[in-house]
Chain A
Amino acid sequence: MMADADRTVAEQNQDAVLIERIRGGERAAFVAFYDRYSPLLFSVAARILGERKEAEDVLQEVMLVIWNKSGDYDPQLGTLSSWAVSVTRNKALDRLRARTRRLRLIEEAAILAEDSDATSYPSANEIVHGRERAELLRDAMKELPADQRMAIELAFFTGLSQSDIATRLQQPLGTIKARIRRGMLRLREQLGGAL
């Protein structure tokens, strides 16, 4: 865990240097950022959209945001990579919403159908953070109660509001809010220094 924590700090320091160099218009820094994070961002976009072609477009849009609008990044509110993930999610969801509502139902069904054992594939975390840390992250997700994990995944990957999730899962809104809160705080505790 200490090694994870050390590595995380080192990664964050590298990212802080990278963003400054990108803000300075240094192409090599941008290429380094792309090489480091494009698999993660592409995987997230593909996971949300369910297809590669649109995910490629999203990745390109996001990278242009990183290049052109890195001044919008506020380090007080999270790491550079978490900001990039958020931009990716928002852009992918914009495209998803532009599609018919029907396809979104299929995406939701995919999440609802996913059981806790369906995580035997290599994850994007493995590419970006290495196998050891990826396994830690995966184990933390698997140990989360299924109802909490489902609410969190529906919120993140489908862009459903908490009210929408409550309707979809036929649960009171307060229950969904509590599940998301408990799940997120529990993950924070379990991941600890790996974050």
Chain B
Amino acid sequence: MSRDARDVSVIFPTGMLGGGFPDETIERGIELGADAIAVDGGSTDSGPYYLGTGTAKTTDAAVEHDLHVLLTAAREADIPLIVTSCGTAGTNAGVDWVAGMVDAIAREEHLRFTLSTIFSEQHADAITAALAAGAVKPLPPAGPVDAQVLRSCEHIVGLMGFEPIADALAGGADVVLAGRATDTASVAALALPRGLPPGPTWHAAKTVECGGLCTTNPQSGGVLVDIDDAGFTVRPLDPNSACTPTSVAAHMLYENADPFRMREPSGTLDTSQAEYRAVDDKTVRVEGSRFEPAVQHTIKLEGSAIAGYETIALVGIRDPNILAQIDTWIEILDEILTDRVRALLGLDRAEYETQLTAYGHNAVLGGLDPDTATPREVGVLFKARARDQGTATAIAKIANPLLLHLPLRLETHLPSFAFATSPPEIERGAAYEFVLNHTIDVASPVELFRTETTKISHA
């Protein structure tokens, strides 16, 4: 296929920075003529802890490894490298964390380039002012938010679209490290400023955002996507993997509530008319995707707040007599515990939470579990959440003798069950919850985001 000067070809090496990929897949993408490397560093998918604390799910060594390969390859080929949602949650600390690693690699490899960092954390006061002006709106199934909830957030991030990244590239950035962004923002930032059509661009970006997940062998490494005036073409970077029309089309289902429509800050991707066709046994061509521009530009907000402090304990039960009535044993334990906590700590049920989940029985599905057979062995996970750590641990210590010895019938001998650790109580620290599922109307797609550009020079 002949290439137009406007066409763009992007390596998306893995679903998450730090997830790893075979080094040679990056070389292959560059040999095939890649114009840029883009990778995502985060997601909400691992839970509210990472946004609440501003820490990453991935370990330093894994992120450093991936960054080292990508940064040196991008600089050698003189093509841009874009990392979005740095540090899992895309907090300012996450951007700084990745920027520190980039600087260390540049020093080690004697690299010179222009670095832009884009920050997406929001101040609760500014969002509160927007709320008062009617600019903050719930997404289903959320209800309205109030100022108290906004102030309770440890961190609030806005999901940037392509525009702040495109501005950084237009300003001469060779490396862009972005805070929280939509999964598709990086690829769109490379394609849309070239005048490429938004339908194929956003669909291409969504297709590759998990790296090799749109291929027949998701463990094999990433993909190369080529976007042009009429559509896009995607192929795996590992010669032993393949993109098929089914593997590519099926990716629109992954982690999406709606398989045909995906909202971006600037509008909605509609893939209902997209056609997927095999170019060869590894490459897929997609045409017909459409994009409906939104009347109002919106930025999605994510916020995580401390919801209490937790202490847990794990006890194993193998006794078949107890296991035959494991639900009853849990109910009795919970009733006695409620009474003792009230008597000893003066706390009512509304002032703390406990949960007993029976792993090996129905911990994962609870009352929805269709299988009610008697389990062979169960691990009961006890969880207490209270207003402070000391109270949560005090509740767990009151539960301790019950978890260790509670008989089903008082006339029987006192059984002892199998604690997994000593002490059994494990303090989990603060527990976080996602408390925002809202958007904010903005006049400009870049107004909530702050960009810093510096020259890195370690020649």
Q: Are A and B genuine complex partners?
A: no
Interface residues of B (CB under 8 A from A): none
